[in-house]
Amino acid sequence: MADDVRVIVARYREDVSWLRELGYPFLIYDKSDDPFPGAVPLPNIGREAHTYLTHIVREYDTLAPVTAFVQGDPFDHLSDHGRATVDDLRRIIADVADRGTPFKGLAWFRLKCDGLGRPHDLRKPENRGRWAGWGRDIPVAEIFGHLFQAEPPVQFIARAATGNFCVTRERIRTRPRAFYEYALSLVLADPQDENNTGHAFERLWQLIFNGNAAWNRDRYPGTEA
């Protein structure tokens, strides 16, 4: 049902008028110099990871049964048949809610990488200047180690590499609020993403929300299985 879903939008300057057609309650966090009416302003730091973690920390106790975390223009990566529509996104979210799927990346593809985020496009000459961390690897294994104090896998399979995904309230709460506060602190320590911390989170969302509470216990001894 629509009331079971809330859409959280990380906006910069995108046209988000499509949200009115989507049919779900939404909240926009705006990082632009031209804020969307009614949006919650945030500083333009930390990529969408900063937005999503800020929302979880602030609303941990009042989360919707299902939250769809999306960028201001999520439609280029939802389908392998070209740019998706609002109807496509609505159907995907409805399917997740109806099935009770704990976590689902909304991109049509999965991305495989090693602990340095390779292969990646942060060294392509045509992308020079697009990101502060251009030319550097992505610290996927390093951020994994900070978050979980566990041995990182040799290969990561990112199911939400575009930064668009749905996750249930129960799956978010598998980890305590303090976990997300700590995760947010990692993003805040790299505000312009010069070290590609935000890019690392794009490759880790499926692990953050995988329900493995055992990874929390060393840092958060009160965590329940």
Q: What tens-digit pLDDT sequence spans the chain (225 residues)?
A: 567 999 999 999 999 999 999 999 999 999 999 989 999 999 999 999 999 999 999 999 999 999 999 999 999 999 999 999 999 999 999 999 999 999 999 999 999 999 999 999 999 999 898 889 999 999 999 999 999 988 999 999 999 999 999 999 999 999 999 999 999 999 999 999 999 999 999 999 999 999 998 887 777 765 654
pLDDT digits (tens, 9 = 90+) for 104-159: 999 999 999 999 999 999 999 998 988 899 999 999 999 999 999 889 999 999 99
Q: How far apart are CA 182 and CA 66, in angstroms?
A: 23
Q: How far apart are CA 133 and CA 137, in angstroms?
A: 8
Q: What is the DSSP letter of 173?
A: T
Examine residue 223 and state whether it is found in any structural domain, yes or no.
no
Examine residue 222 and state whether it is found in any structural domain, yes or no.
no
Q: Are strands 40-41 and 26-30 parallel, antiparallel or unpaired?
A: parallel
Examine residue 6 and state whether it is found in any structural domain, yes or no.
yes
Domain that holds residue 131: 2-216
Examine residue 176 and state whether it is found in any structural domain, yes or no.
yes
Examine residue 224 and state whether it is found in any structural domain, yes or no.
no
CA-nearest of 86, 89, 106 to 161 is 106
**CB burial of residue 85 (10 Å; 0-12, 13-18, 19+):** middle
Across all residues in the chain, what is the average pLDDT? 94
Q: Where are any strands of DSSP class E within the chain? A: 5-11, 26-30, 40-41, 66-71, 103-105, 111-113, 156-158, 165-168
Cβ neighbours of residue 106 closer than 8 Å, sequence gap 6 or more: 68, 70, 74, 77, 78, 89, 92, 160, 162, 164, 165, 166
Examine residue 29 and state whether it is found in any structural domain, yes or no.
yes
Split into its structural domains, the chain has a count of 1
Examine residue 103 and state whether it is found in any structural domain, yes or no.
yes
Examine residue 221 and state whether it is found in any structural domain, yes or no.
no
Two tokens at 169?
């309230």
Read off the pTM: 0.95
Say what the pLDDT of residue 224 is: 56
